[in-house]
């Protein structure tokens, strides 16, 4: 008996990335709010908050790229497994003449 994980399929990995992107966006909003409310923060704390925001932005970029890569992989899987039915005109365009 095999156990299911969050990454058994491309679609489940995409769903996980979506949830992670939401969490990163929430964390960014919190960090931005903390930066603008700099009343009682030391310079060191402000630097740390700016670094947190920078790292979250980088993570957000990586997640977007990962999402695009998963989309590409899903499309390629469908093409390889012939899950996607192509219109006749497209199929004819790629056929080698006899």
| Token output for 1 | 């008996």
Whether 5 is covered by a domain: the verdict is: no
pTM check: above 0.85: no
Mean pLDDT of 19-33: 97
In a domain, residue 80? The reply is yes
Structure tokens at 51: 């670094």
Q: What total number of domains does the chain contain?
A: 1
Is 61 within a domain?
yes
| Cα–Cα distance, 17 to 6 (Å, whole number) | 10
Tell me the average pLDDT across 20-49: 93
Q: Is residue 75 in a domain?
A: yes
Task: Assess if residue 16 is contained within a domain.
Answer: yes
Q: Which structural domain, as residue segments, surrounds residue 68?
A: 10-93
Task: Write out pLDDT tens, residues 36-59.
Answer: 987 888 999 999 999 999 999 999
């Amino acid at each position: 008996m095999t156990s299911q994980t969050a990454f058994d399929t491309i679609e489940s990995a995409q769903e996980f990335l979506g949830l992670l992107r939401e969490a990163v966006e929430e964390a960014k909003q919190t960090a931005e709010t903390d930066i603008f409310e700099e009343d009682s923060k030391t310079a060191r704390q402000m630097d740390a908050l700016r670094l947190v925001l920078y790292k979250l932005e980088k993570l957000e970029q990586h997640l977007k790229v990962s999402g695009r890569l998963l989309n590409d992989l899903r499309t390629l899987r469908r093409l390889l497994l012939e899950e996607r039915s192509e219109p006749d005109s497209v199929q004819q365009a790629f056929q080698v003449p006899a």
